A and B are shown apart, each in its own frame.
Chain A
Amino acid sequence: MSPRVKQIVGLVSFAIFAVVVLVVPAFIGAFRAQQLAYVGIYLIALLGLNILTGYTGQISLGHGAFMAIGGYTTAILMAGNEQYGQEGVLAVSGGMKDVWTIPIAGLVAGIAGLLFGLPALRLSGLYLALATFAIAVALPSALKRFEEFTGGGSGINLFGIPELTAGISPVEIFGRELVFNDWLYYLCWSIALVLFGVAWLILRGRTGLAFRAVRDSETAAVSSGVSLAQYKTLAFGISAAYAGVAGSLFAIATTFVNPDTFPIALSIFLLVGVVVGGLGGLAGLVFGAIFIQFLPLWAQGEGVFSRLPGFIVDRTKEPGAPAIIYGVVLILLMFFLPNGVGGLFRRVGQALTRWRYSRTA
């Protein structure tokens, strides 16, 4: 396939996918819509992480921390003085409506990412992974220290406050009444689709080329005039902004944040999601997001796994079993799809191309 054809195929696939996303809620219950909303949230975080890790080659084991920054930004802005009583830290009397906090959360996390990108310039490979891991470890404790601001260990509750759209009564959008779960689905997926497009635009142009140059060989990149400092920091900033938006939506969807809602495990799950989805590709990330959201449930014998034979489902209920099943599925996936789901797409695409050219030749 020529690049032109590929681009058209890509756009058409994206359009079909967008339509599917739009109509899915009509066929599923509100609860499923809510679960799929989380898939959208994880997709946003994975898009960001893949820009950094898959395209620029910088490993981050700390993206849960950037999600936490976004989530807390949203929660603090939404709760406003209700959280802090009369002498609230914020000048606003009430809180801010949830949707307006999303871009702010992205911005705050993005700035945090840029700032973190500066010291990260001196580190590479494993050392960078450790440094990012350190922020994922440190942030939950830091959040507990600033209790008057973050609510400490008890966190901030967002359920039942008027700033939460559709939280108390359904919201009307384009003449349709949406309950909380459906609203959540459309909110998360519309943002996810837009950010998917944005990521694609960033990566297809000059910036994306520079990112890949940095990934493939720093020496070659520098000698071609690519500024390592500029592009590494930029990748960190964009990536963290994506994580911030995801964290913001996560806080809205969960209606609660506390330090334990962004554990170290989240950062690791995100990296697992990127690898399962396929490093250096965008479409496969949808599967990475599905993997993060549903595999822990399936490993307990829920969802599709509950359709397995009874003696297997019974085994999943035993202590420690879910963690083992999760690990086994992950190993099998990596064994059969070493380049993730994105790698599978590529292999199928190449096979089709070969088949087509061998016929015409």
Chain B
Amino acid sequence: MRRPALVAPVIACALALIALPVGLAGSAADPGITADTIVLGGTSPLTGPAAAYASVARGAKAYLDSINAKGGVARRKFEYKIVDDAYNPAQTVQATRQLVESDNVFAVFNSLGTEHNQAIRDYLNQAKVPHLFVATGATTFGRDAGRYPWTIGFQPSYQAEGLVYGRYLAQTKRGARIAVLFQNDDYGKDLLAGLKRGIAQSSARIVAEESYDVTAPDVQSQIGELKASRANVLAIFATPKFAIQSYVFANRLNWRPLMVNNSVSGASNIMVLASEGGKNKAVNGSLTLNFLKDPTDPMWRRDVGMRQYRSIMSRYAKGANVNDVYHVYGMAVAFETVSLFRRLGANPTRAGLMARARSITSAGNPFLLPGISVKTGRRDGFPIQQGQLQRWRGGKWIPFGGLWSSNRL
């Protein structure tokens, strides 16, 4: 038996080192706000399987940095602290507690992931810390505004998106036989539920449903099963990797249904990958609902908002992929946040921030599609409720029809 003699003193020193006291905010106002700074914080998967989503936080940070360079809001500069949660809700909880209890943020902002935000929502509402613009379309974040007054969503809800696809199919494709591939979680199920509501009382019907787990290697067998249902529409409610696989496997099976691809995987660069250098014809005619300006779309080459986007990216996110639409999302959400603080006046409080967040009427967010407005109400926790259907033709998205809106789902 070897018993080390130095254990206790060494451990004591180590613990003391970790435990070096942290500074405490000393003002009577809400934490996270001083004469010259506004501290925001949020979690993001900087590492791990969902690291591609880190661009959402990075885009938002680049925009806030550009506002800081112009002097900030009411002489306050934004400090946006992004903490990695590796897309693991347990780490989201710990990181969020760190932001609130140790970093003393004014608001938790733009944290990403459905389960991840669900895991911290009760805590933030009890602590009365604003849980601003969560980066997930799960319907609960808008619908349950009454129970969770400190939480508010941002993007169109997944149910609303599914509803639009359903309504469109019901109107234009009589007797549609729909096969659905969906991710086995709230995100996939919300889209499916919306689709079902959209086709209710129409001749369109769902003939097959297949789900997959995020941890699955591929969806080959699911696509095979769905093809066997002899459906003429395939709804892909899946994240980019699985959406691309769906196109590839459907093409290999020589299956050419009308593809409805959810907005999560709707970016042009993902579609380009799915088209396998033009060899995959299954992508042609695909539909998706969109609310952001796509940085790869030549339509926006001269657009003021997208020129601003590119100039901010080149200055404040050096080396990042400008074509990544998640950066645009991040800027859109940061733009709304900055306008919220502009309207808050000289002495922002947490309660004031939430009151303002529940009474937004703003049009002209330069990163959203033209015509889309951001609107909330006391019982309306869905800031963006409009979207544009578009069709994939000749290697790019072509918008058609007007804006679809889905008030109050």
A contact residues vs B (CB 8 Å cutoff): 3, 6-7, 9-10, 12-14, 16-17, 20, 24, 27-32, 34-36, 38, 137, 140-141, 144, 152-155, 157, 159-160, 168, 181, 204, 250, 254-256, 258, 260-263, 265, 281, 283, 286-287, 290, 294, 296-297, 300, 302-304, 317-320, 322-323, 342, 345-346, 348-349, 352
Contacts and interface: CB of A to CB of B under 8 A. Distances in A.
Contact of B126 (A13, A27, A160): A160
* Chain B contact surface mostly: helix
Contacts of B89: 155, 254, 256, 258, 260-261
Given A155-B115, A256-B93, 10 more contacts: A3-B1, A34-B101, A155-B119, A159-B122, A265-B86, A304-B18, A318-B319, A323-B47, A342-B4, A349-B6
B46 A17 contact: no
A6 B2 contact: yes
B122 A160 contact: yes
A260 B88 contact: yes
24 contacts: A9-B4, A9-B5, A13-B3, A17-B12, A29-B102, A31-B22, A31-B97, A35-B94, A153-B185, A154-B115, A157-B119, A159-B122, A159-B123, A254-B90, A254-B93, A255-B123, A261-B88, A296-B84, A319-B54, A319-B320, A322-B84, A348-B4, A348-B5, A349-B4
B5 A349 contact: yes
Contact of B186 (A137, A153, A345): A153
Interface in B49-95: 51, 54, 58, 82-84, 86-91, 93-94
Given A144-B184, A323-B47, A13 B8 contact: yes
Contacts of A263: 88
A260 B11 CA distance: 32
Contacts of A17: 7-8, 11-12
Interface string B1-32: 11111111101101111110110000000000
Contact of A319 (B46, B88, B102): B46
A97 B141 CA distance: 29
A319 B2 CA distance: 44
Contacts of A294: 18
A345 B6 CA distance: 7
B222 interface: no
Contact of B101 (A31, A168, A283): A31
Contacts of B11: 17, 20, 286
B361 interface: no
A322 B126 contact: no
Contacts of B184: 144, 152-153
B175 interface: no
B21 to A, nearest CB: 7
Given A144-B184, A348-B6, A20 B12 contact: yes
Given A17-B7, A140-B215, A349-B5, A24 B19 contact: yes
A357 to B, nearest CB: 15
B54 A9 contact: no
Nearest to A33: B19
A322 B46 contact: yes
A351 to B, nearest CB: 11
B119 A290 contact: no
Contact of A352 (B5, B101, B185): B5
Nearest to B46: A322
Most chain A CB within a 10 A radius of its CB, from B5, B7, B48, B83:
B7
Interface of B: 1-9, 11-12, 14-19, 21-22, 46-48, 51, 54, 58, 82-84, 86-91, 93-94, 97-98, 101-102, 114-115, 118-119, 122-123, 126, 184-186, 213, 215, 319-320
Contact of B46 (A300, A342, A345): A300
A13 B4 contact: yes
B91 to A, nearest CB: 8
Most chain B CB within a 10 A radius of its CB, from A34, A168, A263:
A263
Given A27-B19, A256-B90, A345 B215 contact: no
Contacts of A300: 46, 83-84
A349 B4 CA distance: 6
Contact of B87 (A14, A181, A260): A260
Most chain B CB within a 10 A radius of its CB, from A14, A153, A168, A265:
A153
A270 to B, nearest CB: 14
B102 A290 contact: no
A166 to B, nearest CB: 13
A332 B372 CA distance: 53
Nearest to A5: B3
A185 to B, nearest CB: 11
Contacts of B122: 157, 159-160, 255
- 9 closest A-B pairs by beta carbon, nearest first, are A10-B3, A345-B4, A153-B185, A16-B8, A261-B90, A31-B101, A159-B122, A6-B3, A28-B19
A9 B7 CA distance: 10
B45 to A, nearest CB: 11
Contacts of A346: 2, 4
Nearest to B54: A319
Contacts of A317: 82
A245 to B, nearest CB: 17
Contacts of A262: 90
A303 B20 CA distance: 9
A302 B102 CA distance: 11
Contacts of B58: 319
Given A159-B123, A255-B123, A144 B213 contact: yes
